[in-house]
Amino acid sequence: MSEIRKHYFLPEYCIIAEERSKRPSDFAGPSDGSEKSSSESCVFCGGNEEKTPPATVVYNEGEVFADTEEKRVSKWDFRCFPNLYPAVSPAPSPPGFHGKGLETFPGFGFHEIIVESPVHGKKLKDFSDTEISGLMRVYKDRVCHYAARENIRYVSLFKNSGKAAGASLDHTHSQLIALPVCPQVLERELKVIREGQKCPYCALLETEKASPRFIHENSKFVAFAPYYSIGPFEVWILSKEHISFLGDFSPELLSTLGEILREVLRSYAKILGNMPYNHMFYQLFETPEYHLNLRLLPRISTAAGFELNTGIYINTVSPEKAASYLRGDE
């Protein structure tokens, strides 16, 4: 039996089709080969700093440094540098003319790589408390840096882990793209939020804490499988406190965010193995009405003709069943 489910507060739908489902072990991802790759050939590994553009920022034991063209910082915990093949550029070429009535803008923006460890093959689920809280601090610093740049309206912070999730290199890293436009998905959410009297994320948080979709909780955050899930084992992480932007997070919030993210990734590893996944921050700066959320999506299913035609995703694992597995109940 299948169900059509509506998004919590947007006019969007998904189909939960459990009769097509499998056990988590059937989804488990194979090794991505990262442990077999030579650190000599991986440009993100410690010791290969000359193989990337100079780092804009280098973090080592809580201190901040930067590369120069002549000298690279060789000892580091986290390393941030411009993407060698950027989607956007701080100095874009003038746009071409493609016909009357067709709008085109310069491809302005910033595209940065955040290398999360000098050690090849290391995964976020295996980070120590110091390492995971340090990464959250880097996330905050870099998002704030680009949010303060002139003409930037949105900073997309995301991680592609595994080839199926869009990663071209196995070495653990995240990316940041700062844009002069706000994505339509955030504009739609913000419109609904501003029309209501209460933050819908605060409301759904109370619902999901007591639902069968609840997964993990700590002093500051709740992780759950959303009622409206576009894919198997999708997880949302919400702050119990209404905060719109990572730049407003205290050190304690950053640490507890890292802890619950790591907890979810460990749950994924137990039941899905080395499954490719994405994690994505949804946030807005200078917009206090919004409620920051972090979403994780294992790349189990592929959008096909129906999904592309309708924008309605078919999910073969109900969020209730996914949460049960991720909690360790089954």
Catalytic residues: 173
Residues 6+ apart with CB under 8 A from 65: 57, 58, 59, 73, 76
- Establish whether 171 is an annotated binding residue: yes
Report how far residue 117's alpha carbon sits from residue 114's, in angstroms, rounded to the nearest whole number. Answer: 9
Secondary structure of the chain in HEC code, one letter for each residue = CEEEEECCCCCCEEEEEHHHCCCHHHHCECCCCCCCCCCCCCCCCCCCHHHCCCCCEEEECCEEECCCCCCCCCCCCEEEEECCCCCCECCCCCCCCCCCCCCCCCCECEEEEEECCCCCCCCHHHCCHHHHHHHHHHHHHHHHHHHCCCCCCEEEEEEEECHHHCCCCCCCEEEEEEECCCCHHHHHHHHHHHHCCCCHHHHHHHHHHCCCCEEEECCCEEEECCCCCCCCCCEEEEECCCCCCHHHCCHHHHHHHHHHHHHHHHHHHHHHECCCEEEEEECCCCCCCCCCEEEEEECCCCCCHHHHHHCCEEECCCHHHHHHHHHCCC
- Residue 45 is assigned to a ligand binding site: yes
Annotated binding site for Zn(2+), which residues? 42, 45, 120, 171
Annotated binding site, which residues? 42, 45, 120, 171
